[in-house]
A and B are shown apart, each in its own frame.
Chain A
């Protein structure tokens, strides 16, 4: 794989051309889908330039083959992708379903998610890079093996997909901030009462996120207050967590093949377990 930035730029220009073609042909659905992909690629490019760190090369640099015949599983995939993009962190199926119900229309069930995860890996193995993104598991920081039931997106940098000891809390706080921001900007029509309920469920477990006297909350949690409280606790953990993730990501890039960087390294034997520490 060449420099990830080059690959991304190539992918961006391919996408732009594809959008122009689609618009000219009057296929607005297709064009909208491509635009979303373009935005994701651009964000990844921004992140790459900002950090200056070599991140995981995207696994869809070639000409973007947009599946014309949509499989029946595609909508569920899209739902999951959208919920994950809102959270910006690895998430368990249950959380994804809650976020989806709070902010997006359509149906998504946890049972659909488990079959989805198997399909993703199978599809990647049969033709790597055929899809613009894959839903793949988060990776443990020490063994670089897949984490039980935490879903991420393949286009995210490895740092974002690795789970260290502090990461569950950091991801929870980050997710809370993202949910609060989304609840702030969403119009009441977009975000149902579920959004504030979800925010409340999260906020009760963050020190200082709710007014002391919890009985007097006429309008539910104040998103700005929740964001401030979550950021305050986040500041405590974020440096240590970032260090763990960066170190693990570096190790993963060195040791793992491309597909293992996505789906994790299976444990071969116990001896490796010792070698890690």
Chain B
């Protein structure tokens, strides 16, 4: 990334500390790649939660402490007693043979848990394993390093399993249940997307040692509680498509300069915090800065983006069809707002050439609705 763009991003962030990408914010790239606001805030390292709060749309959730505790407890249970439960599950899914039980803990290096040191050790051990000189099959909490838009990001998968003579598999341990072989699609999707970031980081790390991408499997292993019990089960999740999408999005981050070039000079999301970290910038001023940037709101943004409530209210104010979700939006291709859709349906607006077909359908629907209403 060139220096002017970096300076411009730093100006957008203002005086606040730069927040690094995390597996979650990387996953968001894949969830809603078209959102300009999100791309700018993430690549400038702005604190989205603080900005949303100052703009008057605090996100009432965040990660629940109960969910976190439950997740950690389940992970600890799965890995307890020499990964006893995990080994059983992996022997069933990965067909690990009995001798493949070697375990390396990468949570710290001799009591030192600094990410740089852990990343160095992880790289050292995993490259050795890939070259066939390793002595372990399970690598607990390896620390991976990925360069995103010129900045180092540290990512920490739950576990990486190495099948001798075969490939690395990223293992995600999640505490939502797999019931009758089925899990909640939204949760599986977010788990897989996170794991995709790990796959990409792992490949990047091995590539530095001259090892090809085929050394890391596209199949994520999801370990989760079985049915209504607390015992783990595992399933393969095919992540090929998501890995490809996320890879493409990561390449695009390098082109953030194109987006930045479109912004007016002097635009900033700086909160101007005082010494106690209380924002001093007037909310109206901040909102008008945010309003200058395009957003692409989708209802599922509420699941993962701190800015979602702000974007929703903006989409509502603009009568945007975004509020109704991608299904409705795609149905009404070429029409952007509810006002326009209603106007066309009522015959108050004259359709442009590309809207003619859609208008016929809308008017037909309006007639049906009127007839039903009249009959009632």
Contacts and interface: CB of A to CB of B under 8 A. Distances in A.
A172 B111 contact: no
A205 B135 CA distance: 22
Contact of A205 (B87, B99, B105, B128): B87
B331 to A, nearest CB: 51
Interface stretch (A4-12, A119-127, A189-197, A266-274): A266-274
B250 interface: no
Nearest to A95: B81
Contacts of A274: 124
A95 B136 CA distance: 23
A146 B111 contact: yes
A270 B117 contact: yes
Contacts of A165: 102-104, 135-136
B121 interface: yes
Nearest to B135: A165
Contacts of B82: 167-172
Contact of B88 (A205, A236, A277): A205
B110 A265 contact: yes
Interface in B128-176: 128, 135-136
Contact of B120 (A146, A204, A244, A270): A270
Contacts of B287: none
Contacts of A145: 109-111
Contacts of A233: 98
Given A236-B99, A266-B111, A277-B124, A172 B84 contact: yes
Nearest to B136: A165
Contacts of A171: 82
A147 B105 contact: yes
B103 A236 contact: no
B88 A204 contact: yes
A146 B112 CA distance: 11
Nearest to A141: B135
A236 B96 CA distance: 14
A265 B112 CA distance: 12
B85 to A, nearest CB: 6
A49 interface: no
Most buried by A among B80, B91, B102: B102
Contacts of A140: 110
A166 interface: yes
Most buried by B among A143, A171, A244: A143
Contacts of A166: 101-103, 135
Most buried by A among B84, B108, B135, B136: B84
A118 to B, nearest CB: 14
A233 B290 CA distance: 62
Contacts of A169: 82-83, 87, 101, 103
Contact of B101 (A146, A237, A270, A273): A237
B92 to A, nearest CB: 10
Contacts of B190: none
A273 B109 contact: yes
Interface residues of A, number: 35
Contacts of A143: 109-110
Interface string A58-84: 000000000000000000000000000
B110 A207 contact: no
Contact of A236 (B83, B85, B98): B98
B81 A172 contact: yes
A123 to B, nearest CB: 20
B120 A273 contact: yes
Contacts of A244: 135
B83 A168 contact: yes
A264 B110 CA distance: 9
A51 to B, nearest CB: 24
Nearest to A172: B82
A77 B111 CA distance: 24
A202 B81 contact: yes
A38 interface: no
A205 to B, nearest CB: 4
A207 B87 CA distance: 11
A202 B88 CA distance: 11
B112 A267 contact: yes
B107 interface: yes
Contacts of B128: 277
A148 B107 CA distance: 9
Nearest to B120: A270
Contacts of A164: 135
Interface in A179-209: 202, 204-205, 207
Contacts of B85: 205
B87 A267 contact: no
B266 to A, nearest CB: 44
Interface of B: 80-85, 87-88, 91, 98-99, 101-105, 107-112, 117, 120-121, 124, 128, 135-136
Q: What are the 8 closest A-B residue pairs judged by CB atoms, nearest first?
A: A168-B82, A267-B110, A145-B110, A165-B102, A172-B82, A169-B101, A205-B84, A143-B110
23 contacts: A92-B81, A95-B80, A143-B110, A148-B105, A164-B135, A165-B136, A166-B103, A168-B83, A169-B83, A170-B82, A172-B81, A172-B82, A202-B84, A205-B84, A205-B85, A205-B88, A233-B98, A237-B101, A267-B111, A270-B109, A270-B117, A273-B121, A277-B124
Interface of A: 92, 94-95, 140, 143, 145-148, 164-172, 175, 202, 204-205, 207, 233, 236-237, 244, 264-267, 270, 273-274, 277
Given A95-B80, A147-B105, 19 more contacts: A92-B80, A95-B81, A145-B110, A148-B108, A164-B135, A165-B136, A168-B82, A168-B103, A169-B87, A172-B84, A205-B84, A207-B91, A244-B135, A267-B109, A267-B111, A273-B109, A273-B110, A273-B117, A277-B128
